[in-house]
Amino acid sequence: MIYPGIKLSRRNKNRNQHNQNRDTVTFKEKDFLPTTRAEMEARGWDQCDVILVSGDAYIDSPFIGVAMVGRMLERMGYRVGMIGQPDVKSDVDIKRLGEPRLYWGVSGGSVDSMVSNYTATKKFRNSDDYTPGGVNNKRPDRATLVYTNLIRRYFKNTVPIVLGGIEASLRRITHYDYWQNKLKKPILFDSKADVMIYGMGEIALEQLTRAIDEGRDYRDIRGICYISKEPVHEYIQLPSHQDCLDNKEKYIDMFDIFYDNNDPISANGLCEEVDGRYLIQTPPCDYLNEEEMDANSKLPFTRELHPYHRKDGKVKCLETIKFSIMTHHGCWGECNFCAIGVHQGRTIRTRSEESILGEAKDFNKYKDYKGIISDVGGPTANMYGYECNKKLKLGTCAHQRCVDANHLCSSMKVDHSRNINLLRQVREVEGVRKAFVASGVRYDLINADKKHGYSYLKEMVKHHISGQMKVAPEHTQQRVLELMGKPGKQELIDFKKMYDKLNAEEGKKQFLTYYLIAAHPGCTEKDMHELKRFTTDELQMNPEQAQVFTPTPGTYSAVMYYTEMDPVTRKKIFVEKDTKRKEKQKEIVVKKDNFRSGFAS
- At 302-333, the pLDDT tens digits run 999 999 999 999 999 999 999 999 999 999 99
Rounded CA separation 171/241 (Å): 13
Q: Determine the pLDDT at residue 405.
A: 74
Pair type for strands 349-350 and 328-329: antiparallel
> Does residue 331 have a known ligand-binding role?
yes
Rounded CA separation 198/487 (Å): 29
Q: How far is CA 22 from CA 105, 290, 379, in A?
A: 21, 15, 27
Across the range 175-195, mean pLDDT stands at 97
pLDDT exceeding 70 applies to what percent of the chain?
Answer: 94
Q: Exposed, middle or buried, 563 (CB in 10 Å: 0-12/13-18/19+)? A: buried
Encode pLDDT of 234-277 as tens digits. Answer: 999 999 999 999 999 999 999 999 999 999 999 999 999 999 99
Q: Determine the pLDDT at residue 478.
A: 95
Whether 197 shows a pLDDT value over 70: the answer reads: yes
Rounded CA separation 107/43 (Å): 25
Of 413, 403, 482, give the one whose Cα is nearest residue 444. 403
- Non-local (6+) Cβ contacts of 160 within 8 A are 102, 103, 104, 193, 194, 195, 212
Rounded CA separation 578/136 (Å): 26
Helices H / strands E in the chain, number of each: 24, 20
Rounded CA separation 190/201 (Å): 22
Q: Determine the pLDDT at residue 10.
A: 44
In this structure, how many other beta carbons lie within 10 angstroms of the beta carbon of residue 155? 17
Across the range 343-368, mean pLDDT stands at 97
End-to-end CA distance of the chain: 66
- Non-local (6+) Cβ contacts of 377 within 8 A are 324, 325, 326, 327, 384, 437, 438, 439, 440
Helices 525-537 + 579-590 axis angle, to 10: 10
Rounded CA separation 395/268 (Å): 12
Across the range 509-517, mean pLDDT stands at 94
Q: How confident is the model at residue 30 (pLDDT cuts 50, 70, 90)?
A: low
In this structure, how many other beta carbons lie within 10 angstroms of the beta carbon of residue 179? 15
Which residues sit opposite 52 in a β-bridge? Answer: 82, 105
Whether 395 shows a pLDDT value over 60: the answer reads: yes
Of 583, 566, 591, 484, give the one whose Cα is nearest residue 525. 583
Across the range 91-117, mean pLDDT stands at 97
Considering Cα of 56, then 58, then 61, then 62, what sign does the dihedral take? Answer: positive
Whether 1 shows a pLDDT value over 70: the answer reads: no
> Does residue 402 have a known ligand-binding role?
no
Across the range 178-196, mean pLDDT stands at 97
Across the range 197-214, mean pLDDT stands at 98
> Does residue 271 have a known ligand-binding role?
no
Pair type for strands 375-377 and 349-350: unpaired
Domain boundaries, the chain: 15-281, 323-466, 469-481+509-594
Of 52, 343, 327, 368, give the one whose Cα is nearest residue 209. 52
Q: Determine the pLDDT at residue 544.
A: 82
Rounded mean pLDDT of the chain?
92
Helices 353-362 + 417-428 axis angle, to 10: 30
Encode pLDDT of 134-175 as tens digits. Answer: 999 999 999 999 999 999 999 999 999 999 999 999 999 999
Check if the beta carbon of residue 89 is closer than 8 Å to that of residue 140: no
Torsion of CA 305, 308, 313, 317, to 10 degrees: -20
Strand, coil or helix: 349: strand
Whether 17 shows a pLDDT value over 90: the answer reads: no
Conformational region of residue 399, where left means phi above 0, alpha means psi within -120 to 50, and beta covers everything else:
left
Whether 19 shows a pLDDT value over 70: the answer reads: no
Across the range 506-510, mean pLDDT stands at 93
Helical segments of 46-140, H only: 65-75, 113-117
- Non-local (6+) Cβ contacts of 401 within 8 A are 332, 334, 409, 485
Q: How confident is the model at residue 398 (pLDDT cuts 50, 70, 90)?
A: confident
Is 469-481+509-594 in the same CATH topology as 323-466?
Answer: yes
Question: For the whole prediction, is pTM greater than 0.75?
Answer: yes
Rounded CA separation 363/376 (Å): 13
Q: Which helix (H) or strand (E) holds 506?
A: helix 489-506
> Of 95-109, 536-550, 572-586, which gets the smallest average pLDDT?
536-550
Q: Does domain 323-466 have CATH number 3.40.920.10?
A: no
Rounded CA separation 56/35 (Å): 13
Encode pLDDT of 521-576 as tens digits. Answer: 999 999 999 999 999 999 988 888 899 999 999 999 999 999 999 999 999 999 99
Task: For domain 469-481+509-594, give its CATH number from 3.30.750, 3.30.420, 3.40.50, 2.60.40.
Answer: 3.30.750
Q: Determine the pLDDT at residue 266.
A: 95
Q: Determine the pLDDT at residue 25.
A: 34
Q: Determine the pLDDT at residue 9.
A: 40
Rounded CA separation 426/325 (Å): 11
